[in-house]
């Protein structure tokens, strides 16, 4: 392969990783929330958007991207926790139709709220000054900020894995995912656990929104745009599996990028094709356990 | 919006008295031959239907059109040709089916006298059949799809904005002469993008220009990195691009983020860097060269006044969409002045609209009697850092550009 061809390949590989990490940030929470509460949360994309806009305002007020990236997810998580404890909790026992209807209603409310407060046009979040420009890596040049996104994604994935697999909280969460009724019977405060996990998932999605800001810009439709692909990732990875969400993010992120590069006419179709193939071969997703439904 | 309504309600009584007086004078002058019904119609306000996106991809553009239109009527006391002006605004959300429903509603139940809009070419194509059938007057103040004033043209259809051909073909010829003989094309993969590129080729290919590569990212795309990697590995030094709305902002910022602005010259359709997108694009847009029929920096009396009034009203610089709304309002008001407020005789009103010509913010404005599309200047602009903001500096003017009314070279 020629040098230019290899450079092209490496660049696309990195592009795929960037997209994969953003997908992971949205799908991690989506997958956990579904795994634990069996709720199809259509409002998840709204929290991604909310995080981004909270971040935008924080940057404008404080001038610091890093402060915004730290505080905005906490604010969004607080909104998520209040919503879960006050309204969403009431539909856990009802069918998926009620849940979808309710969370879809939330997306409309958040869409209008954001449009009302921040306006309907696309807004650009400034790249942190230290990371403006490109750096040389693996024989190509790549935007420094995008490299940070890749690192951030891997670090967060590792942290979440540690939380779930190596801590007491993680054990509680896994117990809740496996069988929430029995877990409650054994003295686990399921309500508090649900709220905590919902807030965690929302916070990670909101962080995704903030860090995506400098790359993709902010608009009231950003949540619904990424949510659809987020669902594809969750379904391919296996509902409720964090490792599945990570593996699936990588697969979908790279498939989408290489599809756009090598099969431009079928670009929109490639990720759906991947999803179909995965689901035919593994109906419960890459790393999903069979659901007892 | 509510503010305007309040204003027009607040000032209504005095205007009604004036109108009553005008009607009385008219009767005294021997217009008493009019049937009473006609006289009643002459007293009623003129309803202008605005089928304009207020949400969806074109939300910002739609807001600009409406601001431009209201600005004109505000400055002229919300009346024209002796009659009160009333706007009926409907949001098509850039959806063709919804647009058609709203048009039917405005024509059948609101009984609007003149219809304006839409922004989306998809909506324009969806409603045009019904418009022709219903014989209502439509003044397009947004959609650029060529067909509206070509295959689909009709005596009741006007366009005061621009055709896709006008905003791309002249720039193609100019670029060949002044910038590059070889370009790579990048455009959103939807009908608007394809038509823009076909039009560009009609200006760029005949003198000998060569298109080395074409890249078509999907419409409403978020991440352009896979396509930018292709640009980087292509070896062509000049790009001609067409992106609109949020696509434009994302494309331009990512283009610069990948450092491509250092090695490649970015040119394209002016919509990509209009004043509604420039603040979001920021310095990433510096140096981009585009063609369009408007620039807020145009140094003419009409534009200086327009920019000052628009800024006083909205706090923002006008975009080409603001000029669309303002120009459309001017066309309507001038035509009504000519018919003395009569909208009953459609033929007479259409003749009056066709004859309207004036110094618009964008430059000399008149309709092409053949196609009823606008004849106007096209400006080649470059994004520069101006007086406390980024702006499009005019570097060349192509005067009196007329849409050919059909596809060329075929």
Placement of tokens 């031959």 in the chain:
B33
- A217–B217 CB contact, under 8 Å: no
Residue B130 C-alpha, separation from nearest chain A C-alpha, in angstroms: 30
Distance (Å, rounded) from C-alpha B162 to C-alpha B195? 13
Q: What is the pLDDT of residue B24?
A: 46
Which ranges of chain A have pLDDT less than 50?
1, 292-293
Cis upstream peptide for B3 (omega within 30°): no
pLDDT tens profile B305-356: 999 999 999 999 999 999 999 999 999 999 999 999 999 999 999 999 999 9
Distance (Å, rounded) from C-alpha B89 to C-alpha B74? 16
User: Residues near A248 by Cβ (< 8 Å), separated by ≥ 6?
Assistant: A27, A233, A234, A236, A237, A238, A278, A285, A286
Asked whether the domain spanning B165-292+380-401 has the same topology as the one spanning B46-162+299-372, the reply is yes
Q: What is the pLDDT of residue B69?
A: 97
What's the pTM? 0.84
Q: Which class is domain B46-162+299-372?
A: alpha beta
- A11–B229 CB contact, under 8 Å: yes
User: Residues near A96 by Cβ (< 8 Å), separated by ≥ 6?
Assistant: A40
Note whether A94 and A111 are within 8 A (CB).
no
Fold of the B165-292+380-401 domain: Rossmann fold (3.40.50)
Distance (Å, rounded) from C-alpha B194 to C-alpha A62? 44
Q: Report which of B238, B242, B252 is spatially closest to residue B184, judged by C-alpha positions.
A: B238
Residues of chain B with pLDDT > 90: what percent? 76
Of A184-188, B206-210, B247-251, B388-392, give the lowest mean pLDDT range.
Answer: A184-188
What's the DSSP call for residue B236? -
Residue in A148, A219, A252 to test binding to B, most B beta-carbons within 10 Å = A219
Q: What is the pLDDT of residue B245?
A: 80
Rounded mean pLDDT of B96-123? 94
Chain A hits for B217, Cβ within 8 Å: 260, 267
Whether B13 has a pLDDT exceeding 90, the answer reads no
Residue in B224, B257, B281, B317 to test binding to A, most A beta-carbons within 10 Å = B257
- For chain A, how far is it from start to end, CA to CA, in angstroms? 50
Residue A260 C-alpha, separation from nearest chain B C-alpha, in angstroms: 6
Distance (Å, rounded) from C-alpha B158 to C-alpha B374? 8
Q: What is the pLDDT of residue B216?
A: 93
- The token pair at B269 is 């359709």
Note whether B393 and B404 are within 8 A (CB).
no
Rounded mean pLDDT of B363-383? 96
Residue A199 C-alpha, separation from nearest chain B C-alpha, in angstroms: 27
Domain coordinates in residue numbering, chain B: 46-162+299-372, 165-292+380-401
- B223–A216 CB contact, under 8 Å: yes
- A134–B258 CB contact, under 8 Å: yes
Distances in whole angstroms, Cα of residue B320 to Cα of each of B141, B193, B403: 10, 18, 18
Whether B373 has a pLDDT exceeding 60, the answer reads yes
Chain B residue set in contact with A, beta carbons under 8 Å: 55, 59-60, 63, 215-218, 220, 222-223, 225-227, 229-230, 232-233, 245-246, 249-250, 253-254, 257-259, 276-277, 280-282
- A121–B280 CB contact, under 8 Å: yes
Q: What is the pLDDT of residue A2?
A: 55
The verdict on ipTM greater than 0.95 is: no
Query: Between B215, B226, B245, which is nearest A257 by CB?
Result: B226
Distances in whole angstroms, Cα of residue A119 to Cα of each of A16, A56, A111, A113: 31, 13, 10, 9
């Amino acid at each position: 392969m020629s040098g230019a061809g290899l450079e092209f390949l490496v660049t696309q590989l990195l592009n795929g990783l960037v997209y994969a990490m953003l997908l992971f940030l949205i799908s991690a929470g989506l997958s956990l929330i579904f795994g634990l509460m069996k709720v199809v949360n259509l409002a998840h994309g709204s929290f991604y958007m909310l995080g981004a806009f909270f971040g935008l305002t924080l940057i404008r007020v404080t001038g610091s991207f890093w402060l915004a990236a730290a505080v905005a997810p906490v604010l969004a998580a607080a909104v998520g926790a209040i919503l879960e404890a006050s309204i969403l909790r009431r539909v856990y026992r009802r069918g998926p139709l009620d849940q979808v209807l309710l969370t879809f209603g939330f997306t409309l409310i958040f869409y209008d709220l954001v449009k009302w407060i921040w306006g309907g046009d696309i807004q650009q979040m400034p790249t942190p000054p230290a990371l403006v420009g490109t750096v040389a890596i693996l024989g190509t040049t790549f935007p420094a900020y995008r490299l940070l996104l890749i690192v951030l994604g891997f670090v967060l994935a590792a942290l979440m894995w540690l939380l779930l697999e190596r801590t007491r909280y993680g054990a509680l969460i896994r117990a809740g995912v496996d069988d929430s009724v029995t877990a409650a019977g054994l003295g686990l405060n399921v309500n508090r656990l649900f709220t905590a996990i919902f807030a965690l998932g929302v916070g990670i999605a909101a962080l995704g929104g903030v860090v995506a800001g400098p790359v993709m810009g902010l608009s009231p439709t950003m949540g619904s745009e990424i949510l659809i692909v987020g669902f594809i990732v969750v379904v391919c990875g296996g509902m409720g599996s964090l490792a599945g969400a990570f593996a699936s993010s990588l697969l979908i992120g790279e498939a989408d990028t290489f599809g756009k590069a090598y099969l431009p006419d079928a670009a929109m179709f490639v990720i759906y094709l991947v999803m179909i193939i995965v689901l035919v071969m593994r109906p419960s997703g890459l790393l999903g356990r069979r659901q007892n439904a | 919006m509510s503010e305007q309504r309040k204003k027009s309600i607040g000032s209504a009584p005095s205007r009604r008295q004036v109108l009553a007086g005008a009607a009385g004078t008219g009767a005294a002058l021997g217009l008493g031959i009019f049937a009473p019904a006609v006289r009643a119609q002459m007293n009623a306000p003129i309803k202008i239907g605005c089928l304009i996106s207020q949400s969806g991809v074109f939300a910002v553009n739609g807001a600009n059109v409406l601001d431009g239109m209201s600005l004109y009527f505000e400055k002229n006391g919300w009346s024209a040709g002796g009659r009160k002006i009333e706007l009926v605004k409907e949001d098509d959300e850039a959806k063709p089916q919804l647009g058609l429903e709203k048009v039917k509603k405005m024509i059948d139940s609101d009984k609007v006298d003149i219809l304006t809009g839409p922004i989306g070419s998809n909506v324009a194509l969806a409603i045009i059949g019904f418009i022709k059938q219903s014989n209502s007057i439509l003044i397009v103040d947004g959609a650029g799809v060529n067909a509206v004033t070509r295959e689909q043209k009709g005596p009741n259809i006007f366009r005061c904005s621009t055709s896709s051909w006008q905003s791309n073909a002249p720039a193609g010829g100019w670029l060949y002469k002044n910038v590059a003989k070889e370009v790579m094309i990048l455009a959103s993969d939807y009908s608007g993008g394809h038509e823009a590129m076909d039009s560009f080729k009609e200006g760029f290919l005949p003198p000998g220009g060569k298109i080395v590569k074409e890249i078509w990212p999907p419409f409403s795309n978020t991440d352009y990195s896979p396509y930018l990697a292709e640009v980087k590995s292509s070896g062509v030094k000049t790009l001609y691009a067409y992106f609109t709305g949020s696509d434009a902002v994302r494309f331009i910022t990512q283009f610069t983020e990948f450092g491509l602005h250092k090695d490649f010259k970015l040119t394209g359709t002016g919509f990509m860097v209009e004043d509604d997108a420039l603040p979001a694009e920021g310095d990433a847009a510096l140096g981009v060269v585009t063609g369009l029929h408007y620039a807020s920096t145009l140094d003419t009396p009409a534009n200086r006044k327009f920019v000052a009034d628009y800024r006083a009203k909205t706090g923002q610089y006008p975009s080409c969409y603001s000029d669309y709304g303002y120009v459309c309002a001017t066309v309507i008001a001038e035509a009504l002045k000519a018919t003395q407020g009569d909208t009953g005789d459609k033929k007479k009103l259409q003749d009056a609209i066709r004859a309207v010509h004036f110094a618009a913010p964008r430059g000399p404005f008149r309709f092409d009697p053949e196609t009823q599309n606008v004849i106007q200047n096209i400006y080649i602009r470059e994004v520069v850092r101006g007086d406390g903001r980024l702006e499009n500096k005019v570097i060349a003017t192509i005067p009196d550009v007329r849409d050919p009314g059909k596809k060329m070279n075929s």
